[in-house]
């Protein structure tokens, strides 16, 4: 995709862009819409000071890159008129037709949805989002292009507004674009949001790429040439393209795999476009014959297409010097759908709809997507299902009868069982994968045959919630557990509510709880307590529903001495030095007589010493909000032994607003030395940002977080 984004696009320019792919376009109507939109926005300015109408025109230009129909282009020109000018629905309908008026109205309603609000409100708005999409998917195509142009020009906004829009883009619009098959848009939205949310991390990855290219030369050109040579030998006519992956894609892999940049192998991607489907498989054979295929990294989306029409063969091979490279193989028609996804349904060529055999009927696609969420009973389950569906890739498994079951990547036999039928899932006692008995937590892979073993009288276990990944399975498990343990959860929820209210000097009276239940949209007080006891909502949410001014909000400063929630009134806490838990990490407390509570990270090895003393355990969590940089953490750093290295590293740490409280040298060698650096931080995000900054430095050979499990002491909160 190109990135047409001129600020002075005239009506002639826009008509020219449309006629390139649709010579039969209604030029008169597009010019009329251009003139009407410009007149309606006359005098309005963007944050940058430019005329506001430059934005709708740029959005329309982005949509021409996707070769969309006249109605969508005109909607882009008018998409803010009903919302921000004196224009009315009736006037737009009279001038440009009911179809355009309906689309403009749909975009206006999407603009008014606060998708980044609280979870309950967010779930309702996601429902409205899917309702708008179900009426006409072109509404979301305009909205995505609108968001793309706003992200391209986001620097004119205030920093806090930039952060809000970037987070909303990363959480909602980028995954939605990906779910619709518009990978180019997803990648650009992610990268633009990444630039705002983590500029240091992005710059670090770009610097590493520059260094890598300096050391290895143009790897992409060499591998592309090798692939073309192998395809020519096999008699396969095809085009080969290579590229480095986007900074955000690499950063996400680094987080998921917990690897440094230097240890990532598959940072390059290559695409082979063939003339026919048969040539796709011939090209695959040529590639595998020349390079070694990496086990477990092969996917055939041609024989098993994604629901948005995506078709391609994916494989990863070991290329030059043992470096892994990802290869995608598909035909040109498949590539058109891969680029534009569901939007390919409206694409025009030479004045007529392009008859791409792989384009998905958007009505069927959105109906299938909506049906998955219609069965969800409550807001949280619906929201979880939406996000899981948008974010996840898919695996395809088979029932013993050969029927295909589509599941998100990372799904388990539990998810498979509930995907077949809720009754099967509830009665599940075991599973066989490829005829071999496996644990229920086994991660399923493409092409596996799965058989579910059931038994009468079986009921879901609480541990299944940690095993299941799909919204449908988790929702059904929670409902079953609620029915089994409602009385116990109500009792536990009452105790949690008492503790949360006492923490701010209030009492969890029946009236207060009833008020919270009404505000959080639960049927009654008992339903609220059951959800609280089953950990589906938090005590903080209940407290905030009644006393919003008594709970720290994101961005507010949190007192370090009152940073932990879940303590009894007057109970003090200390941080364990062994694991040095930071705000943002999951924590538990161990009570000590005369000493209060020692707070550990949930994964601290020293907790095993208290496994037989569960009465001393407390379920704790950190207050939300902005914490002061007073929480100690230890970094294990290996540096090159050069003049001035340590001074530069200390300066870098100071520039990230972290404070060094101590240094301890562990090992000295002629060419390097290893030391422990004790730093004071705000939270775990601050730690990750600092480590990413240091990791990008060429003088840093290795860096990791150090935890001393032999240390039994504590560290005070401030």
SS (H, E, C) 535-602: CCCCHHHHHHHHCHHHCCCCCCECCHHHCEECCCCCCCEEEECCCCCCCCCCEEEEEECCCEEEEEEC
Nearest to 254 by CA among 244, 246, 264, 245: 264
C-alpha span between 324 and 253 (Å, rounded): 14
Residue corresponding to tokens 């282009």: 73
C-alpha span between 123 and 376 (Å, rounded): 11
Angle at 658 between CA 653 and CA 661, to 5 degrees: 95
Task: Clarify whether 83 is annotated catalytic.
Answer: yes
Contact (Cβ atoms closer than 8 angstroms) between residue 363 and residue 85: no
CA 225 to chain centre: 35
C-alpha span between 707 and 686 (Å, rounded): 17
C-alpha span between 180 and 684 (Å, rounded): 33
What own/partner pairs with CB < 8 Å and gap ≥ 24 does 43-49 have? 44/84, 44/85, 46/153, 46/156, 47/156, 47/157, 48/153, 48/156, 49/156
Length of the chain: 718
The pair phi, psi for residue 506, each rounded to 5°, is -125, 165
Q: SS3 of 347, please? A: coil
Question: Of 50, 83, 171, 378, which residue is the catalytic one?
Answer: 83
Task: Clarify whether 84 is annotated catalytic.
Answer: yes
Nearest to 313 by CA among 324, 302, 305: 302
C-alpha span between 510 and 490 (Å, rounded): 13
Q: Which residues pair with 673 in a beta bridge?
A: 639, 668
Question: Of 5, 13, 50, 84, which residue is the catalytic one?
Answer: 84
User: What CA dihedral angle connects 271, 273, 279 and 285, to 10 degrees?
Assistant: -10
Q: 10 Å Cβ neighbour count for 437? A: 10
Token pair recorded at residue 105: 């109205």
Nearest to 133 by CA among 153, 157, 113: 113
For residue 54, give every residue at least 6 positions away whose Cβ sits within 8 Å of its Cβ, in sequence order, or none. 7, 8, 9, 46
Token pair recorded at residue 569: 């009134």
Contact (Cβ atoms closer than 8 angstroms) between residue 671 and residue 542: no
Contact (Cβ atoms closer than 8 angstroms) between residue 537 and residue 520: yes
User: Which sequence positions are flagged as catalytic?
Assistant: 83-84
């Amino acid at each position: 995709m190109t990135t047409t984004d001129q600020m002075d696009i005239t009506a002639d320019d826009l008509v020219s862009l449309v006629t390139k792919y649709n010579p039969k376009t209604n030029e008169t109507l597009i010019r009329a819409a251009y003139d009407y939109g410009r007149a309606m926005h006359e005098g309005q300015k963007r944050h940058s000071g430019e005329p506001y109408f430059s934005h709708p025109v740029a959005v329309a230009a982005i949509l021409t890159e996707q070769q969309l129909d006249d109605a969508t282009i005109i909607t882009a020109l008018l998409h803010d008129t009903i919302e921000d000018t004196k224009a009315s629905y009736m006037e737009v309908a009279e001038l440009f037709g009911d179809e355009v008026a309906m689309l403009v109205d749909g975009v206006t309603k999407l603009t008014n949805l606060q998708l980044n609000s609280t979870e309950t409100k967010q779930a309702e708005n996601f429902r409205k989002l899917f309702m708008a999409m179900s009426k006409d998917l072109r509404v979301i195509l305009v909205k995505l292009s609108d968001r793309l142009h706003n992200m391209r020009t986001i620097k004119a906004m205030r920093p806090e507004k930039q952060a809000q829009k970037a987070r909303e883009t990363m959480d909602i619009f980028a995954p939605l674009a990906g779910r619709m098959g518009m990978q180019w848009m997803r990648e650009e939205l992610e990268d633009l949001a990444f630039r705002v949310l983590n500029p240091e991390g992005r710059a670090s990855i770009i610097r590493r790429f520059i260094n890598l290219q300096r050391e290895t030369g143009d790897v992409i050109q060499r591998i592309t040439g090798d692939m073309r040579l192998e395809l020519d030998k096999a008699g396969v006519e095809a085009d080969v393209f290579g590229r480095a992956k986007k900074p955000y894609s690499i950063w996400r892999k680094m987080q998921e795999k917990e690897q440094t940049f230097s240890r990532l192998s598959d940072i390059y991607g290559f695409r082979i476009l063939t003339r026919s489907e048969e040539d796709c498989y011939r090209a695959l054979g040529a590639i595998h014959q020349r390079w070694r295929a990496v086990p477990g990294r092969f996917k055939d989306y041609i024989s098993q297409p994604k629901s948005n029409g995506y078709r391609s063969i994916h494989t990863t091979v070991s290329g030059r010097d043992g470096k892994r490279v990802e290869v995608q193989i598909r035909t040109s028609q498949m590539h058109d759908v891969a680029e534009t996804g569901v939007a390919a349904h409206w694409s025009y060529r030479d004045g007529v709809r392009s008859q791409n055999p792989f384009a998905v009927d958007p009505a069927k696609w959105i109906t299938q997507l909506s049906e998955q969420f219609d069965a969800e009973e409550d807001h949280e389950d619906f929201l979880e299902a939406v996000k899981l569906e948008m974010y996840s890739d898919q695996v395809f498994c088979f029932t013993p009868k050969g029927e295909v079951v589509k599941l998100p990547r990372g799904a388990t036999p539990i998810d498979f069982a509930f995907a077949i039928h809720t009754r099967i899932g509830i009665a599940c006692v075991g599973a066989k994968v490829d005829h071999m008995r496996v644990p229920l937590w086994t991660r399923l892979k493409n092409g596996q045959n799965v058989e579910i073993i059931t038994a009468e009288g079986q009921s879901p276990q609480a541990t299944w919630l940690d095993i299941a990944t799909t919204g449908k399975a988790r929702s059904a498990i929670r409902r079953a557990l609620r029915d089994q343990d409602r009385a116990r959860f109500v009792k536990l929820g009452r105790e949690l509510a008492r503790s949360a209210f006492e923490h701010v000097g209030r009492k969890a009276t029946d009236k207060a709880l009833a008020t919270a239940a009404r505000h959080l949209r639960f049927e009654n007080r008992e339903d609220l307590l059951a959800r609280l006891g089953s950990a589906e909502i938090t005590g903080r949410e209940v407290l905030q529903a009644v006393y919003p001014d008594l709970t720290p909000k994101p961005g507010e400063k949190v007192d370090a001495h009152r940073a932990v929630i879940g303590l009894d009134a007057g109970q003090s806490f200390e941080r364990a030095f062994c694991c040095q838990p930071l705000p943002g990490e999951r924590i538990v407390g161990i009570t000590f007589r005369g000493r209060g509570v020692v707070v550990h990270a949930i994964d601290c090895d020293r907790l095993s010493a208290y496994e037989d003393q569960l009465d001393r355990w407390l379920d704790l969590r950190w207050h939300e909000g902005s914490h002061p940089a007073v929480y100690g953490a230890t970094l294990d750093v290996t540096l090159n032994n050069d003049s001035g290295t340590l001074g530069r590293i200390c300066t870098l740490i100071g520039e990230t607003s972290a404070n060094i409280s101590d240094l301890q040298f562990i090992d000295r060698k002629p060419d390097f030395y290893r030391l422990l650096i004790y730093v004071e931080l705000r939270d775990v995000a601050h730690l990750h940002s600092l480590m990413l900054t240091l990791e990008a430095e060429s003088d840093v050979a290795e860096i990791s977080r150090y935890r001393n499990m032999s240390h039994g002491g504590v560290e005070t909160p401030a």
